[in-house]
Amino acid sequence: MRVTDVLRKKAVKFFYYIRKKQRVIFSYMPYAGIYKKRMVCIVYKMNVSDFHNDILTSANQKHLHILSAQTVRCVCAIYSGRRCFQQVEDIVRFFENNREKNLYLALEDANYLSKENIETICSWKPICVSLTWNWQNELAGGCYSDGGLSKKGKEIVKVLTGNGIYIDCAHLNRKSFYAVADMTSLIVNTHTCLCTVHPHQRNIDDVQIRELIERKGLIGITFVGKFLSNGGASVQDVFRHIDHGVQKFGDRWFCLGTDFNGSEDFPPNLRAYAQMDNLFDLFVKAGYPLATIRSVFFENLQNFLTKHR
């Protein structure tokens, strides 16, 4: 039997093994030549971590087991909206009773935070908390407002970070962002895009990126169309934002923060984890090494969550 036939049989056998395991992570591949390259691509297309998925406040709340199978690690956010503290607490209890080991909690727009309930909230051990959404509240100014971090907001930040909980600056305006950054190094941005690629009030500029990096904060690039481009967003736009960040600041600081279940404004060919191959292929075509792709797609967030939990 020719060597190529042997390799082909091994590659096919290994492919079905991967399909069975779904998302096994490999660091060493025993196959040579084109078969090795092809099989590595197949493996890494099946691995993704997500810094922001709104599943807990969506109609898909009961499908945590599916989300767990689709991702290596995923941070599940509770967006408060008009929910009171008790309603948020009920969702947290549901999550605690149904969570898988690779799923983590985050709180978005925690306008219900107060001196009376903050100890309870800290006991939930969320990875991060965002103080507001897009507008001003009693804690801070959102990206569509002019207000800054309030006295109450400063007290809340101090308690949260004192308990090892990160502040998510995704929805903060610049005034509030810098006020938080002056107080703590525990700051991240779970789902945003980059102003240098597409100027938008929800996106962050290079100076803010540098501030986050100096504090070893991780940045999740979101797939929401209006933050990616002026219209008709595509998977190429997602790549452009990540590419700018990686080329200018390095691949250690960026990950994916899709905002799945929190919006319907996604590129048509990037609306689910099953379509992540479309983004993966752009990195390969651009000549990115697999180590960098792996870092952005799942390892950076995986390492961050492992280190801080």
Per-residue model confidence as pLDDT tens digits over 277-293: 999 999 999 999 999 99
What band does 36 get if pLDDT is binned at 50, 70 and 90? very low
Q: Backbone phi, then psi, for 213, in 5-degree steps?
A: -65, -40
Residues of the chain above pLDDT 70, percent: 85
Task: Give me the mean pLDDT over the 89-106 stretch.
Answer: 97
* Closest alpha carbon to 220 in 112, 137, 134, 297: 297
Neighbour-count burial of 258, counting CB atoms closer than 10 A to its CB (0-12 exposed, 13-18 middle, 19+ buried)? buried
In tens, the pLDDT along 128-142 reads: 999 999 999 999 999
Does pLDDT of 39 surpass 50? no
pLDDT of residue 46: 54
Dump the DSSP string for 101-139. TTEEEEEES-TT--TTTHHHHHHT--SEE-S-SSS--SS
Per-residue pLDDT of 241-291, as tens digits, reads: 999 999 999 999 999 999 999 999 999 999 999 999 999 999 999 999 999
Looking at residue 239, its pLDDT comes to 98
Higher pLDDT, 154 or 21: 154
Paired tokens of 36? 């090795």
Q: What is the pLDDT of residue 2?
A: 54
Domains of the chain, each with CATH number or no CATH: 1-46 (no CATH), 47-307 (3.20.20.140)
Please name the residue that has the structure tokens 């990126």: 209
pLDDT at residue number 264: 95
If you average pLDDT over every residue of the chain, what do you get? 88
Whether the CB-CB separation of 256 and 48 falls below 8 Å is answered with yes
> What is the secondary structure of 225-237 as a DSSP string?
HHHH-SSS--HHH
What average pLDDT does this structure show over 64-81? 96
Averaged pLDDT, 83-90: 96
Q: What is the pLDDT of residues 1-21, one digit of tens each?
A: 554 454 444 544 444 444 434
Please tell me the predicted confidence (pLDDT) of residue 90: 97
- pLDDT at residue number 12: 43
Beta carbons within 10 angstroms of residue 7's beta carbon: 16
Q: Say how many Å lie between the first and final Cα of the chain, rounded.
A: 51
pLDDT band at residue 231, thresholds of 50, 70 and 90? confident
Q: What is the pLDDT of residue 206?
A: 98
SS3 204: strand
